Structure 1
Amino acid sequence: MTTDMPARILRLLALLQTRREWSGAELSDRLGVTVRTVRRDMDRLRDLGYPVDSVSGHAGGYRLASGADMPPLLLDDDEAVALTVALRTAAGHVTGFEEAALRALAKLEQVLPARLRIQAAALQDATTTLAWDTPSPRAAPAVLTTLAAACRDHEIITFDYTTRHHAHASRRVEPHRLVAYGSLWYLIAHDTHQDDWRIYRLDRITDPAPTGFRVPARELPAPGPDPAAYLASKIAGAPARYRAVATVQAPAETVRARTGALADRVRAVTGTTCTLDTSSDSLTRIAQTLTALDAEYTLDADPAVTHYLRRTTRRTANALND
């Protein structure tokens, strides 16, 4: 039981920040106090300026609503370390967030205990971000945050979308998850008009607008439930601008390990050879994938691909001869 009232208020505020809604009974159980005490503590939070809403319904409950100002966040150790690393990554890799991420990071590290700063620094030093064609995932901050909130709340959202053929259309979807893949952000969502799952590039989304309608979360179809694996499988099967299929003198498992997200495109021919479909909208990505094979191969590809590879090979040879 939490008998120290200030400590209990802080614990209550932390709980309200971890979930959208809490029933009075759940909070009572977590804090070890009566439901009546919970009600009084909610009044204390309101007196301190926190926008706590009462939720109507059979069980009733509470939620921390949006206010004029953002209330202080209470983070446990793991959350503080995760947020620090995420802000450092955003400061260097997410277009449009650099300055805001640095400001937030400066505020957080100013109050972060030394032991957590050491943990965060160690984790950051041990990891890196791989980008393909551009230095960072392209996503407007307002679009990214709006869609992230809709995914969290399972809220239907509308937006305008530009297809790969430059056609424009309105979309109404149930957002599932955001995934950063290579140099781009993608939204995995269930299209309410098509009654089917779709993948949308965030750099082609404009004017996202929440509708206020929340729906139960859907389960991803095969090869779900991992959103990253689902996205990789769909991108691998999508039509590509440039065709390039390599016959590689290496076992299929070896090539799968070296190509990562393209593992679904590897097909064994014999125990020591396989084919790899490296087709892509990016000539640079095709060249990088072929370099990663670290094995002999023959290539069946579009003229644009072979021209690009010959040109880059000549540049490399010239550099080595100088």
Structure 2
Amino acid sequence: MTAADTEAAAPPADSEPPPPTGRKSGRPKGGGRATARTGGALLPYLLIGPAIVAIAAIFAWPLVQTVIMSFQDMGRRELWTGDSPPWVGFEQFSTILGDSHFWSVTFKTVLFMVVCVSLTMSLGLLIAMSMQRMSPWVRLLLTGALIAAWSMPLLVATSVFRWLSDSDYGVINSTLSRIPGLDFQGHNWFLNPWQGFTIIGAVVIWGAIPFVVITLYAALTQVPKELEEAAKLDGANSWGVFHHVVFPVIKPVFQMVATLSVIWDFNIFGQVFLMRGNKPEPEYELLGIYSFQKAFTSSSFSQGTAIALITVLLLSGVAAYYLRQLLKTGEVE
């Protein structure tokens, strides 16, 4: 090669060298990965964003309006004319909390809730444990019956129980009258509030048991059979196996179901309202009925919303406990 050929092949002195091979110029290394990671982190929030907006529109806005109304004095005139009701501060709350009837209704609500939840969880656990010893086809039939009872509308269920407890044509009265020494013909169960709440409690428990049974049975299927057999070999009886082996495994599910039952039974409204023909007597007032009566019967809408808000505050501790159990379950898993 001659000197002229060498000079022709050499690049000009002022030209820039080509970029290194194997690397794209003008883009930082790893930029695509960082963008993908950022998009992946935001994707879950983008997916649940519409649901959060819908929940806020359905629940958050009415709750805000309830809080505002509880500090006002809205009556029938403000409701129909659209005038702004006057602000009264904490007057509604002081009036309610100073009323002995409110505390009587609260005690009645708590007592009713405790009885219903205790019986629901006890009967539900017994039925769920019995399902483990049933043949597959019997268990399938029972599961179908539970789902059918669970899906029955509240109006239909209360109508059935009103017919069962009817004073003239009720099955309960005619069945009890067949027992020697008992005469329940024409007996009205709702003249005595204790007997009336027994019928209402039966409606509540009957509607809640299917969910409890199905959920607890699913939890019982997760108990390792090896642990039960080992406990029996060590000399544990049936109660010992349940107490030391079975219940610790299903305890998180049991607690969450019981907490949900507390929330549901504390807010009972439809069963009482429908069983008493849409006109509950004062003896059958629970907090939900009491709030409704104050708002729509006495036309004291602000007092009704204040009672509803107090009910929410009373249940906030139970809701916090439920969320805590959910978080603990997630940590264990």
| Greater relative CO (CA pairs within 8 A, separation 6+) | 2
TM-score range, shorter chain: under 0.3
Larger fraction in helix: 2
TM-score scaled to structure 2, two decimals?
Answer: 0.21
Larger Rg belongs to: 2
